[in-house]
Homo-oligomer: A and B are copies of this chain.
C-alpha cells in the first residue's frame, strides 16, 4: 500500500516535491489551452499521479497507490490551484521549476523500479515500470491538451528515466545497499538531466514522410 518503506524517507520527501512540481507543470499546460479552474485541477492531478496510476494498472497492483493516500490528492489539487495565482511571477522561477521537474522525473523513475522489483517482475518490466512512472504523467497531460507529448521530443527526458532505471538495477545486482543505491542513482540521474538541459543534448530524430498511407 505504502509506496516506500521508512528507510527511503528521503526519496519520499523528494516524491512530495515531485508531485508538486508535476502538478504545476500540468496547471501551466492547462493554462496554455485556456481551460477553466476545474480543467486546471484535472490536468494537475493527471500530470502528478497519472504515471503511478498507469504503472499500478499494468502491474496489477490494487488498490491503486493514491487511493490509499488522500493527502497526495490534496497536495496536487492545492499545487494546481496555487499555480494559477503565482504563474504570472513564474517567468523568474523558470530555472527552479526545471530543477524541481528533473527531481520529479528521477524520483518517479526510482519509485517505479522499486515497486515492480518488490513484485518480482522480470528486469525489462521493472525498467518499464520505472519509465512509466517517470514519464506517463507528462504523456497523459499532453494527450488531454491535444498535443503530441513533449516527452517524445524533448532533450533526453525519457532517456534520463531509462538511464536511472538501468543504473539502479545494475547497482542492485552488484549488491549495493538500497539506500546508497537510491542516493547514487538519484544524484547521477539529476546531474544527467540538468546537463542535458544546459547543453541542449538530444537524441537523433526520426523523420519520415510517405505518400502511401
Q: Which residues of A are in contact with B by a Cβ distance under 8 Å? A: 27-28, 30-40, 42-43, 53, 57-60, 62-64, 67-68, 70, 73-74, 84, 87, 90-91, 94, 121-125, 128, 139, 143-149, 151-153, 158-159, 162, 202-210, 212-213
Contact = CB atoms under 8 A, between A and B. Distances in A.
A53 B128 CA distance: 14
A203 B37 contact: yes
A130 to B, nearest CB: 14
A70 B60 CA distance: 17
A87 B151 CA distance: 23
Contacts of A203: 36-38
Contacts of A31: 206-208
B57 A124 contact: no
5 contacts: A34-B207, A35-B152, A36-B204, A37-B203, A73-B124
Given A39-B149, A144-B152, 4 more contacts: A32-B208, A74-B124, A84-B206, A139-B144
Nearest to A213: B28
B36 A206 contact: yes
B148 A146 contact: yes
Given A60-B64, A203-B38, A206-B27, A33 B145 contact: no
Contacts of A207: 31, 34
A73 B128 contact: yes
Given A28-B208, A31-B207, A36-B206, A57 B57 contact: yes
Contacts of A60: 62-64
